[in-house]
């Protein structure tokens, strides 16, 4: 008689899944807000729309962390990629002027390691706290054979709300408007396929650079971080400072652009009227040392740097010149640095929608 086969024999540990849910519950509980009617543990999460909106519009976004996860695996650092996951979606819906309400995550792996998964979800909860939204639900999928042992994938889903009349769409942008830049915390979560290729050229194969990164100092870095610390720094979340601006200076912000894949040159045009151009001054902001290292180590051209990486600016805000100082002051009061990095002008025929110059 054949021995009975269990789900555990097939590679799925249901007890580990139950243990993870219990670890997650207190993390999610810290993020709950008044709209949550039912969250973690049910078949579906229930959320009541906040009152006070005349014409509420829901704004949704989804994203992942990309190949930055490969560094997390190699370095065995899992506590910040969850912040990246939240940031990529909530920053996107913020661009439309939306306040994030709730977030859901999806964690998939070949074999569930409770400590690793709990560290990842702990980062998700921390990101939700920063964004002021509830971690209302998610899914953990253990799928033997789908992922190498020790690896996993992440996806995140954010839903926010905005008054219909307050949606930011960039249609009011005109020549002479000012572009403000909000600094990034580093590479954020884009361009890591190129980062890994640069590491291979500068340090060696993965088994060599994964051992070296934790000890390699990042040259000219004011915080004196290692290369590993700089590369794994979580994506900046801009939600709370920008919501302060939108609430206290209604109408001051004409558009925002989250600088993700495509960099400054491809993300700013997404909010510009077709006939306009963003002219940015490279000396308008301080580029973090990590980008200098990546460019030097990989001999990466300027145009490629600006197209792949955020190069130190994680969010752009377009305002009228008369409002620029008020917006900067409000952001400063909220703990968010901002500076004028360029302006809007009529787009010359044949030129790109974003140009970055080195002059004053």
| List of residues 6+ apart from 265 with CB closer than 8 A | 303, 306, 307, 352, 353, 354, 356
Distance CA 43, CA 46 (A): 10
Angstrom distances, CA of residue 87 to CA of 92, 95, 115 = 8, 12, 22
pTM above 0.85, yes or no: yes
Domain segments of the chain as ranges = 14-166, 178-357
Residues of the chain with pLDDT under 70: 1, 9-10, 39-40, 359-360
State residue 1's pLDDT score: 64
State residue 39's pLDDT score: 66
**DSSP-based three-state secondary structure for 276:** strand
Give DSSP secondary structure letters for 24-35.
HHHHHHTT--TT
The architecture that CATH gives domain 178-357 is Alpha-Beta Complex (3.90)
Helix (H) or strand (E) holding 345: strand 339-346
The top-level CATH class assigned to 14-166 is alpha beta
Closest of 43, 356, 83 to residue 232, by C-alpha: 83
Kindly report each contact of residues 42-51 with a partner whose C-beta sits within 8 Å and lies 24 or more positions away, as own/partner: 42/137, 44/137, 45/102, 45/104, 45/136, 45/137, 47/101, 47/102, 47/134, 47/136, 47/159, 49/101, 49/161, 50/101, 50/161
- Residues 34, 132 contacting (CB under 8 angstroms): no
At 241, list the tokens.
Answer: 């400072």
Helix (H) or strand (E) holding 68: helix 68-75
**DSSP-based three-state secondary structure for 240:** helix
């Amino acid at each position: 008689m054949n021995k009975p086969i269990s789900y555990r024999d097939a590679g799925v540990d249901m007890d580990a899944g139950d243990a993870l849910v219990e670890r997650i519950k207190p993390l999610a509980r810290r993020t709950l807000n008044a709209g949550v009617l039912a969250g973690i543990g049910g078949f579906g999460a229930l959320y009541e729309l906040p009152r006070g909106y005349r014409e509420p519009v829901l704004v949704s976004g989804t994203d992942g962390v990309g190949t930055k996860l490969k560094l997390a695996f190699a370095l065995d650092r899992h506590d910040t990629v969850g912040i990246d996951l939240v940031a990529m979606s909530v920053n996107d819906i913020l661009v439309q002027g939306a306040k994030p309400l709730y977030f859901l995550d999806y964690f998939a792996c070949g074999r569930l390691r409770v400590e690793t998964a709990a560290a990842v979800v702990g980062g998700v909860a921390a990101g939700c706290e920063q964004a002021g939204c509830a971690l209302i639900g998610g899914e953990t999928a253990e799928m033997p054979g789908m992922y190498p042992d020790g690896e996993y994938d992440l996806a995140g889903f954010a839903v926010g709300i905005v008054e219909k009349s307050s949606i930011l769409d960039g249609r009011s942008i005109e020549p002479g408007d000012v572009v403000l830049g909000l600094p990034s915390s580093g590479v954020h979560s884009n361009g890591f396929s190129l980062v890994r290729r640069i590491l291979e050229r500068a340090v060696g194969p993965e088994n060599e650079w994964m051992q070296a990164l934790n000890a390699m100092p990042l040259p000219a870095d004011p915080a004196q971080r290692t290369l590993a610390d700089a590369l794994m720094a979580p994506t900046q979340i801009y939600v709370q400072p920008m919501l302060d601006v939108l609430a206290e200076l209604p109408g001051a912000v004409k558009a925002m652009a989250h600088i993700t894949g495509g960099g400054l040159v491809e993300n700013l045009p997404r909010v510009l009227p077709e006939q306009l151009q963003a002219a940015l001054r490279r000396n308008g902001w301080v580029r973090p040392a990590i980008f200098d290292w990546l460019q030097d180590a990989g001999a990466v051209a300027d145009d490629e740097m600006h197209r792949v990486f955020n190069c130190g600016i994680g969010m752009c805000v377009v305002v009228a010149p008369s409002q620029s100082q008020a917006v900067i002051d409000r952001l400063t009061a909220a703990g968010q640095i901002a500076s004028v990095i360029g302006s809007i002008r009529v787009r010359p025929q044949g030129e790109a929608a974003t140009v970055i110059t080195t002059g004053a």
